[in-house]
């Protein structure tokens, strides 16, 4: 696989990813994974950032990616909705299936992938628009929604993000006037508004204070019944608190080039990762002996 198809957004690409709904219903009955990742490797030019990652991610669970800086957590996360397509030097190898559909098939529309698999970034990034317009942005872009339905969708999305009661009387005010925690919940509402199946979160609380962090963590627990959530975090306590399963990544050093490549050490139930991990490297990291 490579990012060569990133610019191919033809409408003929839509039907393949649209098969997902049918497969999703079948998968719910058979408990098949939302994502099946096999032998995933990513290179930036000649540099191999991460190699040989294999894992299955279940539906309506919170999965945490933990590990030291530079171990490939975010790189793997970005492969799940093809965000690495925007990096010219990135080359993705291996298999990334979403409800049985190969996301890197040349016929798959990357825009549809990113609608179904939304992303919330490390730093809150509200648009310089009103609170209402931030949430309405995606649905308006897709089109085909009436004004009354849009109003309902904005309210529903803000409610799901636990923000409605705080902003319902100032929807026309600038989103930039919100606190950092409110801005991050607004970004979650904006993501929810396009009705995704999966929400990816790249260190969503790293720029927030403890109170705002607790609100985001509570929100994740509330919405996982409707969405599959995958979170990258450097905060091990957070991973232990919120996730059902955890993948631990670390780095291996090439002795010739002195360059580091990310590898996934183990992936298991969070309780097991933090209490009886299978690998000594995991135990050393979660107990604070390195990292």
For 178-187, how does the pLDDT look when each residue is reduced to its tens digit (9 = 90+)?
A: 999 999 999 9
1 pLDDT band, cuts 50/70/90, is very low
| Residues 240 and 274 sit within 8 Å (Cβ to Cβ) | yes
What span, in angstroms and rounded, lies between the C-alpha atoms of 178 and 17? 36
Least confident of 20-29, 94-103, 189-198: 20-29
Q: Across residues 19-42, what is the average pLDDT?
A: 74
Partnered with residue 202 across adjacent β-strands are 232
Instruction: Output the pLDDT for position 19.
Output: 60
In this structure, what token pair is assigned to residue 272? Answer: 């097991």
Q: Across residues 135-147, what is the average pLDDT?
A: 93
Q: Which single residue is written with the structure tokens 């955890």?
A: 246
Mean pLDDT, all residues of the chain: 90
Beta-sheet pairing, 90-98 with 101-102: antiparallel
- CATH: 1.10.10.10, 3.20.20.120, 3.40.50.720, 3.40.50.300. Which one for 11-286? 3.40.50.300
| Residues 187 and 126 sit within 8 Å (Cβ to Cβ) | yes
Instruction: Output the pLDDT for position 15.
Output: 47
What span, in angstroms and rounded, lies between the C-alpha atoms of 81 and 277? 29
Burial class (CB in 10 A: 0-12, 13-18, 19+), 131: buried
Instruction: Output the pLDDT for position 28.
Output: 52
Instruction: Output the pLDDT for position 203.
Output: 95
Whether the predicted pLDDT of 16 surpasses 60: no
Q: Across residues 96-122, what is the average pLDDT?
A: 94
Quote the percentage of the chain above a pLDDT of 70. Answer: 89
Instruction: Output the pLDDT for position 291.
Output: 57
Burial class (CB in 10 A: 0-12, 13-18, 19+), 259: middle
Instruction: Output the pLDDT for position 4.
Output: 39
The 3-state DSSP class for residue 199 equals strand
143 pLDDT band, cuts 50/70/90, is confident
Least confident of 18-27, 140-149, 272-281: 18-27
Q: Across residues 130-155, what is the average pLDDT?
A: 95
Over its C-alpha atoms, the chain yields an Rg (Å, rounded) of 19
50-56 long-range contacts (CB < 8 A, ≥24 apart) are 50/75, 50/76, 50/249, 50/261, 50/262, 50/263, 50/264, 51/261, 51/262, 51/263, 52/94, 52/263, 52/264, 53/94, 53/263, 53/264, 54/264, 55/247, 55/264, 55/267
Whether the predicted pLDDT of 245 surpasses 80: yes
Whether the predicted pLDDT of 13 surpasses 60: no
Confidence (pTM) = 0.87
Whether the predicted pLDDT of 10 surpasses 70: no
């Amino acid at each position: 696989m490579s990012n060569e198809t990133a610019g191919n957004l033809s409408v003929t690409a839509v039907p393949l990813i649209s098969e997902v709904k049918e497969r999703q219903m079948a998968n719910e009955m058979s408990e098949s994974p939302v994502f099946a990742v096999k032998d995933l490797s990513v290179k930036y030019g000649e540099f191999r950032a991460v190699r040989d990652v294999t894992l299955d991610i279940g539906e309506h669970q919170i999965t945490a990616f933990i590990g030291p800086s530079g171990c490939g957590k975010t790189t793997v996360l970005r492969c799940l909705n093809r965000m690495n397509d925007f990096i010219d030097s990135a080359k993705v190898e291996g298999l990334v299936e979403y409800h049985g559909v190969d996301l890197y098939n040349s016929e798959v529309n990357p825009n549809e992938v990113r609608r179904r698999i939304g992303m919330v970034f490390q730093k809150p990034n509200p648009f310089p628009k009103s609170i209402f317009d931030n949430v309405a942005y995606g649905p308006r872009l897709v089109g085909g929604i009436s004004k009354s339905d849009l109003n309902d969708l904005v309210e529903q999305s803000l409610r799901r993000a636990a923000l409605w009661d705080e902003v319902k009387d100032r929807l026309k005010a600038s989103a930039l006037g919100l606190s950092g925690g409110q801005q991050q919940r607004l970004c979650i509402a904006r993501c929810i508004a396009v009705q995704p199946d999966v929400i990816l979160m790249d260190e969503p609380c790293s720029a927030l204070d403890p109170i705002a962090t607790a609100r985001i963590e509570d929100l994740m627990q509330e919405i996982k019944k409707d969405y599959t959530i995958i979170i990258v975090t450097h905060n091990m306590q957070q991973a232990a608190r919120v996730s059902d399963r955890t993948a631990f990544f670390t780095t291996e050093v090439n002795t010739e080039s002195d360059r580091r490549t990310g590898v996934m050490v183990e992936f298991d139930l969070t309780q097991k990762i933090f209490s009886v991990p299978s690998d000594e490297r995991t135990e050393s990291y979660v107990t604070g002996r390195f990292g």
